[in-house]
């Protein structure tokens, strides 16, 4: 069998065995409904509250400020829609301000809020590295701004935004600041994060936890309405019986990621640098996308002149390498990346994007195998593009 090499850890990660072991008892042994009053319910509830305490201490907030959800997307939706609606109800604030490099979970939610719910929507400028500056936020805030959203670490280009400074500007204007930390939580220290945003969205499967569970930090006092209504679960902000084993898994996975993150980053950064330098050196017409230094430790992303990114992905896949054009959600989409367009890349260049993201199991041998295959695959993709 031909070997297959996975280099798409920003799309998802395999479940950590230790996480699976922590989840196991909650599928059948401890199966109670956490809302039930009897001992079965109490046991399940204790597991959720234990997970909540863990996540709260890892993000630097209190347990009452953590809401469990079904994924990173739902956390983004609840944060943006819930806060926008509450700010309008309480303060007549009708303007949403987001960066142009948000994940679709934010950007498409904002577009719906504008189209269906009548909010004004405007976009922050970003520089050519996809970076949002606090000055840009200061200049773009309006008297009726309801919420500001800027991604912590970008899934497509790896750029890390200065969220502490952006939060400071928003706080000066008493506007809730939301950050999508789904990628950041996998790689960056998060213990100070809650001090730097009113709302923080995370999702477990990006940090070796199970798919289908997320969490949202909501700072006490932040206006927010539930977007899923029903029972009083999750401080009445997310109705529905909780997914106990997955919540236990999220807490365990985050705790491992935060403890072992620095060690993995220490190993991955030189590997990533080697990859970036070699690609830029050996492949003509290649450019790095995203910030050269302020970027996720495992993240390398490029555009190649004269290449269709989807063609290159297929050639890579056939050669045994699983990579991405930027975001798993965009696979098969022939449109140029909105993120790259916002950074000023010409549409024809933005179509030729490639994202390579490393993980805990990535070896330098695997990177060298990719580096020896990539130049000829790019050449082949260029020939196919011209044909
Ligand atoms: C993956 C991802 C999401 C969506 O999370 P899911 O748990 O897959 O719904 C949102 N934002 C960013 C930055 C992501 O990388």
Non-local CB neighbours of 68 within 8 Å, separated by 6+ positions: 48, 51, 52, 213, 214, 215, 234, 238, 242, 243, 247, 250
Q: What was the pLDDT predicted at 318?
A: 97
Binding site membership of 326 for ligand 1 (Cβ less than 6 Å): no
Sorted by sequence, the CB contacts under 8 Å of residue 45 that are 6+ apart come out as 32, 34, 35
Residue 99 CB contacts under 8 Å (≥ 6 apart), including other chains: 123, 124, 126, 132, 149, 150, 151, 161
Q: Which stretches of the chain drop beneath a pLDDT of 50? A: 1
Task: Please choose from 74, 76, 105 the residue to mutate so as to test ligand 1's pocket, defined by most ligand atoms within 8 A of CB.
Answer: 105
Instruction: Tell me what pLDDT residue 212 has.
Output: 98
Angle at which helices 39-59 and 244-282 cross, to 10°: 30
CA of 101 to the centre of ligand 1 (A): 13
What is the whole-number distance in angstroms between the Cα of residue 182 and the centre of ligand 1? 6
Residues contacting residue 33 through CB under 8 Å, at least 6 positions apart:
40, 41, 44, 241
> In angstroms, how far is the first alpha carbon of the chain from the final one?
32
**182 in contact with ligand 1, CB cutoff 6 A:** yes
Q: Which long-range contacts (CB under 8 A, 24 or more apart) does 182-186 make?
A: 182/72, 182/75, 182/76, 182/103, 182/155, 182/206, 182/214, 183/10, 183/151, 183/152, 183/153, 183/154, 183/155, 183/296, 184/152, 184/153, 184/160, 184/296, 185/254, 185/257, 185/258, 186/13, 186/257, 186/261
pLDDT confidence of residue 78: 98
pLDDT given at position 386: 86
Question: What is the pLDDT at residue 328?
Answer: 52
Tell me if 249 CB under 6 Å of ligand 1: no
The reply to whether 61 belongs to the active site is: no
Taking CA atoms only, the protein residue closest to ligand 1 atom 6 is: 72
pLDDT in the model for residue 331? 53
Is 180 close to ligand 1, i.e. is its CB under 6 Å away? yes
Ligand 1 atom closest to 74 (CA): 9
Residue 141 has phi, psi (to 5 degrees) of -65, 140
Q: State which of 69, 71, 72 you would mutate to test the pocket of ligand 1, scoring each by most atoms of that ligand within 8 A of its C-beta.
A: 72
């Amino acid at each position: 069998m031909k070997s297959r090499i996975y280099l798409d850890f920003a799309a998802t990660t395999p479940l950590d065995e230790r996480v699976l072991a922590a989840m196991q008892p909650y599928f059948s042994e401890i199966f109670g409904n956490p809302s039930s009053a009897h001992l079965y319910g109490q046991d399940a509830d204790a597991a959720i509250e234990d997970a909540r305490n863990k996540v709260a201490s890892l993000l630097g907030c209190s347990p009452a400020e953590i809401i469990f959800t079904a994924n990173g997307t739902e956390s983004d939706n609840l944060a943006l829609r819930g806060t926008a609606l509450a700010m309008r109800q309480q303060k007549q604030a009708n303007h949403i301000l987001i960066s142009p490099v948000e994940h679709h979970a934010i950007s498409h939610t904002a577009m719906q809020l504008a189209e269906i719910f009548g909010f004004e929507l405007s976009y922050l400028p970003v520089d050519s590295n996809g970076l949002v500056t606090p000055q840009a936020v200061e200049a773009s805030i309006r008297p009726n701004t309801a919420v500001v959203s800027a991604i912590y670490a970008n899934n497509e280009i790896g750029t890390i935004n200065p969220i502490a400074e952006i939060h400071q500007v928003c706080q000066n204007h008493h506007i809730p600041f939301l950050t999508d930390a789904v990628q950041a939580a996998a790689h960056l220290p998060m213990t100070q994060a809650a001090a730097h945003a009113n709302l923080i969205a995370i999702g477990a499967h990006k940090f070796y936890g199970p798919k289908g569970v997320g969490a949202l930090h909501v700072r006490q006092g932040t206006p927010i309405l539930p977007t899923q209504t029903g029972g009083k679960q999750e401080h009445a902000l997310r109705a529905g019986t909780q997914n106990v084993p997955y919540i236990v898994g999220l807490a365990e996975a985050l705790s491992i990621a935060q403890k072992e993150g620095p060690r993995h980053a220490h190993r991955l950064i030189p590997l990533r640098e080697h990859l970036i330098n070699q690609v830029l050196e050996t492949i003509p017409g290649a450019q790095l996308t995203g910030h050269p230094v302020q970027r996720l430790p495992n993240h390398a992303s490029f555009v190649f002149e004269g290449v269709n990114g989807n063609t290159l992905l297929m050639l890579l896949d056939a050669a045994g390498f699983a990579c991405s054009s930027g975001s798993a959600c965009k696979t098969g989409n022939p449109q140029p990346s909105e993120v790259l367009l916002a950074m000023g890349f010409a549409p024809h260049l933005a179509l030729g994007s490639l994202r390579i993201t490393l993980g805990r199991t990535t070896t330098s041998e695997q990177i060298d195998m990719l580096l020896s295959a990539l130049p000829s695959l790019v050449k082949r993709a260029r020939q196919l593009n011209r044909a």
